[in-house]
Amino acid sequence: MFSSIRSATLLGIQGTPISVEVHIGSGLPGFTVVGLPDEACREARDRVRAALLSSGAEWPNKKITVNLAPSSQRKGGVGLDLALAMGILAASGQIPIDHLAEYSFVAELGLDGSLRPVPGAAPLVAGLRDTRVVVAPPNAREAKVASPRSIHCAGTLREVVLALRGDGEWLDTSSQESMKGTTHFADMSDVRGQPTARLAAEIAAAGGHHILFVGSPGAGKTMIAERLPGLLPPLTNEEAVTATMIHSAAGASLPPGGLITFPPFRAPHHSASMIAMVGGGSSVLRPGEASLAHGGVLFLDEVGEFMPSVLDALRQPLEEGEVRIARASAGVTLPARFLLVGATNPCPCGGGAPGACVCNETARARYLRRLSGPFLDRFDLRVAVAMTGVEELLDVREGEPTAIVQERVARVRQMSLHRSGGVNARLSAQELDTYAPLTNEARNVLRRELELGRLTGRGYHRIRRVARTLADLSGNDGEIPEDTIRVALLLRTRLHERDVAI
Amino acid sequence: MSNHLGLPAWAYAAALSQLEGMTPKKLRIALLHEDPEDAWNRSISDYPITEDSVARMFECCEEKNMQVVSIADPTYPRTLRYDPTPPAVLFYRGSLAALQQRRVGIVGTRSPTPSGVYTAREFGEQLAANEIAVVSGLARGIDGAVHHGMKLHYDEALPSTSQALGKPIGVVACGLDVVYPKSNAGLWNWVGENGLLLSEYGPGVQPEPYRFPQRNRIIAALSEVVVVVESRESGGSMLTVAEAIRRNIEVFAVPGSPRVASAGGTNLLIQQGCGPVTSVDDLFAALALDHRRTAGSSYETRVPPDAHDLDVLHECQDGAVTLDHLVLSLRRPLYDIAVSLGRLEALGWVVDTNGWWEALMR
In chain A, residues with a C-beta closer than 8 Å to the C-beta of B323 are: 195-196, 384, 490
The C-alpha atoms of residue B184 and residue A180 are separated, in whole angstroms, by 64
DSSP string, A278-290: HEE-STT-EE-HH
Question: In this structure, is residue A496 part of a structural domain?
Answer: no
B354–A486 CB contact, under 8 Å:
no
Q: What is the dihedral of CA B61, B66, B70, B71, to 10 degrees?
A: -160
In a 13 Å sphere around the CA of A339, the CA atoms on its Cβ side amount to: 31
In chain B, residues with a C-beta closer than 8 Å to the C-beta of A201 are: none
pLDDT for the residue numbered A499: 34
pLDDT for the residue numbered A408: 93
pLDDT for the residue numbered B319: 78
Question: Cβ(B322)–Cβ(B355) under 8 Å?
Answer: yes
Q: Which residue of A has its CA nearest to B145?
A: A501
Residue B29 has pLDDT above 60, yes or no: yes
Shared domain for A426 and A281, answered yes or no, is yes
In chain B, residues with a C-beta closer than 8 Å to the C-beta of A358 are: 261
The C-alpha angle A489, A494, A496, rounded to 5 degrees, equals 165
Strand ordering across the sheet containing A63-69: A30-34, A63-69, A14-25, A2-11, A103-106, A132-135, A151-153
- Provide the number of structural domains found in chain A: 2
Question: Cβ(A245)–Cβ(A123) under 8 Å?
Answer: yes
Shared domain for A455 and A387, answered yes or no, is yes
Shared domain for A62 and A33, answered yes or no, is yes
Please name the residues in contact with A7: beta carbons below 8 A apart, sequence gap of 6 or more. Answer: A17, A18, A19, A20, A79, A80, A82, A83, A104, A105, A106, A128
pLDDT for the residue numbered A192: 81
Question: In this structure, is residue A447 part of a structural domain?
Answer: yes
Question: In this structure, is residue A498 part of a structural domain?
Answer: no
Q: Which amino acid is at B356?
A: W
The C-alpha atoms of residue A142 and residue A121 are separated, in whole angstroms, by 7
A483–B339 CB contact, under 8 Å:
yes
Asked which of A118, A152, A176 is the last residue of a domain, the reply is A176
Task: Give the closest residue to A318 by CA, choosing from A343, A293, A301.
Answer: A293
Which residue ranges of chain A lie beneath pLDDT 50? 497-502
Closest partner residue to A193 among B120, B230, B328, by Cβ? B328
Q: Helix (H, G, I), strand (E, B), or coil: what is residue A219?
A: coil
pLDDT for the residue numbered B2: 41
Question: In this structure, is residue A501 part of a structural domain?
Answer: no
If 0-12 CB within 10 Å is exposed, 13-18 middle and 19+ buried, where does residue A72 land? exposed
Over residues B225-230, the mean pLDDT reads: 94
**CATH code, domain carrying A313:** 3.40.50.300
Confidence of residue B345 (pLDDT cuts 50, 70, 90): confident
Residue B151 has pLDDT above 70, yes or no: yes
**Any idea which fold B307-359 has?**
Arc Repressor Mutant, subunit A (1.10.10)
B353–A354 CB contact, under 8 Å:
yes
Min Cα separation A500/chain B (Å): 7
Q: Which residue of A has its CA nearest to B331?
A: A195
Question: In this structure, is residue A398 part of a structural domain?
Answer: yes
**Reported ipTM:** 0.74
Question: Cβ(B257)–Cβ(B251) under 8 Å?
Answer: no
Question: Cβ(A89)–Cβ(A60) under 8 Å?
Answer: no
Question: In this structure, is residue A182 part of a structural domain?
Answer: no
DSSP string, B104-151: EEEE--SS--HHHHHHHHHHHHHHHHTTEEEEE---TTHHHHHHHHHH
Please name the residues in contact with A219: beta carbons below 8 A apart, sequence gap of 6 or more. Answer: A385, A386, A387, A388
Question: In this structure, is residue A39 part of a structural domain?
Answer: yes
Task: Give the closest residue to B277 by CA, choosing from B146, B137, B161.
Answer: B146
The C-alpha atoms of residue A143 and residue A134 are separated, in whole angstroms, by 10
Confidence of residue B32 (pLDDT cuts 50, 70, 90): confident
Asked which of A176, A199, A216 is the last residue of a domain, the reply is A176
Task: Give the closest residue to A445 by CA, choosing from A487, A409, A408, A476.
Answer: A487
Closest partner residue to B145 among A193, A383, A501, by Cβ? A501
Task: Give the closest residue to B197 by CA, choosing from B211, B214, B177, B212.
Answer: B177
* CB proximity A500 to B under 8 Å: yes
* Domain map (residue ranges) of chain B: 9-90, 96-294, 307-359
DSSP string, A374-414: HHHHT-SEEEEE-PPPHHHHH--S----HHHHHHHHHHHHH
Which residues between 478 and 497 in chain A have a beta carbon less than 8 angstroms from any beta carbon of chain B?
482-484, 486-487, 489-490, 493-495, 497
Shared domain for A167 and A203, answered yes or no, is no
Q: DSSP code of B47? A: T
CB atoms under 10 Å from CB of B104, counted, come to 27
Closest partner residue to B319 among A196, A353, A497, by Cβ? A353
For chain B, the helix, strand and coil percentages under 3-state DSSP, each to the nearest 5:
50, 15, 40
CB atoms under 10 Å from CB of A43, counted, come to 14
Question: In this structure, is residue A461 part of a structural domain?
Answer: yes
Over residues B141-148, the mean pLDDT reads: 92
Q: Helix (H, G, I), strand (E, B), or coil: what is residue B324?
A: helix
In chain A, residues with a C-beta closer than 8 Å to the C-beta of B334 are: 195-196, 199, 487
Shared domain for A254 and A280, answered yes or no, is yes
Over residues B277-306, the mean pLDDT reads: 74
Asked which of A143, A176, A209 is the last residue of a domain, the reply is A176
**CATH code, domain carrying A104:** 3.30.230.10
Over residues B280-297, the mean pLDDT reads: 71
Min Cα separation A15/chain B (Å): 49
B140–A361 CB contact, under 8 Å:
yes
Strands (E), B35-112: 67-70, 89-94, 102-107
Confidence of residue B4 (pLDDT cuts 50, 70, 90): low
Question: Cβ(B260)–Cβ(B112) under 8 Å?
Answer: no
Look over chain B and give the mean of its residue pLDDT values, rounded to a whole number: 86
A486–B328 CB contact, under 8 Å:
no
B114–A500 CB contact, under 8 Å:
yes
In chain B, residues with a C-beta closer than 8 Å to the C-beta of A361 are: 110-111, 140
Shared domain for A245 and A332, answered yes or no, is yes
pLDDT in tens, B50-65: 667 888 888 888 898 9
* CB proximity A439 to B under 8 Å: no
Q: DSSP code of B85? A: S
A483–B319 CB contact, under 8 Å:
no
Closest partner residue to B322 among A384, A482, A487, by Cβ? A384
Closest partner residue to B260 among A196, A215, A355, by Cβ? A355
pLDDT in tens, A102-154: 899 999 999 999 999 998 899 999 988 888 999 999 898 888 888 877 899 99
Q: DSSP code of A480? A: B
**Pick from A188-192, A312-316, B292-296, B304-308: least confident:** B292-296
The C-alpha atoms of residue A200 and residue A380 are separated, in whole angstroms, by 10
pLDDT for the residue numbered A64: 94
* CB proximity A466 to B under 8 Å: no
Shared domain for A58 and A170, answered yes or no, is yes
* CATH classification for the domain delimited by B96-294, as one of 3.40.50.450, 3.40.50.620, 2.60.40.10, 3.40.50.10440: 3.40.50.450
pLDDT for the residue numbered B162: 54
The C-alpha atoms of residue B349 and residue B330 are separated, in whole angstroms, by 18
pLDDT for the residue numbered A106: 93
Q: Which domain holds residue A156?
A: 2-176
